[in-house]
A and B are shown apart, each in its own frame.
Chain A
Amino acid sequence: MAAIFTGAPPNSGPGYSFTQTPAPTSASEPRQHAFYPYTDNGGSTLGISSSTFTILAGDTRSTSGYNINTRYAPKLFHIDSADPSSRLVLSVVGFAADGEALAERLDTVVKMYRYQHGKTISVGAAAQRLSHVLYGKRFFPYYVHAILGGLDEEGKGALYSYDPVGSYEREQCRAAGAAASLIMPFLDNQVNYKNQYMAGSGVGHELQQRDPRPLERKEVEELVRDAFTSAVERHIEVGDGLQMMVITKEGVEEVYRELKKD
């Protein structure tokens, strides 16, 4: 019971920056100090790509343990927004300070590319560079799960997801962060139509998987909202606001909606 009032972070995962997770110790034992450089700031992100656009979204709550640091800490970053033809958005969830540092690193990298080559970087190249940036800190990683969204050379939506040390993959959809395990099966089912079959296609091995199709923007926005309103109900680290970035050939459009603040 007392744990609720100490503001101690959940026992799994990283704790505060400068102390180990406060654990009940008796006075007779020597106090142990350790520098732990990571904090889990909670929150969740998700990305869905379609034929002509990509949508990235993240909640705006920042937590440490049971405390809320702020109700508005964006996890989405428009990369090289000074360039009118930039279509890159990075979302980061995990340790917020590392997330912002990573976004700045990528922003610089993308700018330098533009200055040196006189053209905007392709999303594929940016994706690979981001992987290298993450792997460059292989032994002191950015403690984040990154998702990079953009438009590829054919104008199709592109989405790349990363682990903290730069392993990456292009996907149709991905959820990351605290509520990833809640959201991901929902996305499997509603975006890639997993476990859905064509009616009347037979039984057993005759069953035909319902073919995934490119989703409309309105549908995707609705999925994103449903995913987050549901995650808010069942995860205490998710809430407050929903920040969405819609990447189309027209540009990057930012949408903000309120989420429950409890």
Chain B
Amino acid sequence: MILKNFQAHGPSPAQADRRALRQLPSASTSYQTTTQLHHRIYSLVHPIYTHQTAEVLLGITGKDFTIIAASKAAMRGATILKATDDKTRELNQHNLMAFSGEAGDTSISQNTSKPTSASTQCATRPPSPAAVSSFVRSELSRALRSRRPYTVNLLLGGYDTITDTPALYWIDYLAALAKVPYAAHGYAQYYCLSILDKHHHPDIGFERGMELLRMCTDELKRRLPVDFKGVTVKVVTKEGIREVEYVDDKPVKSA
């Protein structure tokens, strides 16, 4: 039964989905291969496997810092609701989270900020970026198989005060986690990762890091069809998190 719906996905997938969902308990007897069953179940849980948004999240690490940039536009469909949105949240003194995705789901930042802030921890020092990333991932992966998963993509920028190293974690809404030297989410990935592939080096200083960020945001302004209203830029260093003044109202020459 479920297989039939799967193959005749045609005119009204939503209707077929609802019907299939009701029939799910009987699915065990009538699928043909396990792969098809997996596929079916998965398509019910996640209508889109890999969605891309025009919301921009960027992260760049260097010798002693992590830069996080997030677009200021709050979008709903084709409408820009707000041009001064801050998509970042300070989880603790040395950990900054940037998030993009479905509006309500960004509450992940609230749900994870309390447990990761120093005051509620039994330990004497706040959790390291590695610990924070692991915790956030576990929250996200638990939610993934719950009734309503978060559909948010995250960047975690941090600074490990024990090893004196910056850290950047890329996490997508499926809770795939990767420690990376530089990262992006949404369509920004396609424009910025190639620039960073070419110019990034792990030993770069803060000034160079900002130059790279400028190259990225310039390219995004040139190529993205929507106005993302510039970016807020924050940097995590040994001293903590600070916001950086970022001039992005200058016009960018088209290529």
| Interface band, chain A | under 10
For the complex with contacts A23-B4, A23-B7, A24-B4, 12 further pairs of A-B residues with Cβ separation under 8 Å are A3-B32, A11-B32, A11-B33, A11-B36, A23-B3, A24-B3, A24-B30, A24-B32, A25-B4, A26-B1, A26-B4, A29-B4
- Map CB proximity to B onto A1-38 as digits: 1 under 8 Å, 0 otherwise: 00100000001000000000001111001000000000
| B-chain residues with CB within 8 Å of residue A23 when the two chains form the complex | 3-4, 7
B36: chain A residues within 8 A (beta carbon):
11
Q: Tell me the interface secondary structure of chain A in the complex.
A: loop
- Count chain B residues whose beta carbon lies closer than 8 angstroms to a beta carbon of A: 8
Within 8 A of A (CB), among B6-48: 7, 30, 32-33, 36
Docked pose: A26 CA to B1 CA in angstroms: 8
What's the Cα separation between A252 and B31 when bound, in Å?
A: 51
Residues 33-83 of B contacting A (Cβ, < 8 Å): 33, 36
Bound Cα distance A25, B6 (Å): 12
CA distance A25 to B7 in the complex (A): 10
In angstroms, how far is the closest chain B Cβ from the Cβ of A31? 12
Q: Which residues of A contact B33 (CB under 8 A)?
A: 11
Q: Distance in Å from the Cβ of B31 to the closest Cβ of chain A?
A: 10
A2's closest neighbor in chain B, by CB? Answer: B32
* Residues of A contacting B32 in the complex (Cβ-Cβ under 8 angstroms): 3, 11, 24
Cα distance, A24 to B4, chains bound together (Å): 7
State how many angstroms separate the Cβ of B168 from the closest Cβ of chain A. 27
Which A residues between 146 and 192 are near B, CB-CB below 8 angstroms? none
* Bound CA–CA A26/B7 (angstroms): 13
Which A residue's beta carbon lies closest to that of B1? Answer: A26
Contacts of A24 in B (CB 8 A): 3-4, 30, 32
Complex CA gap A217/B32 in Å reads 47
CB of A216, distance to nearest CB on chain B (Å): 43
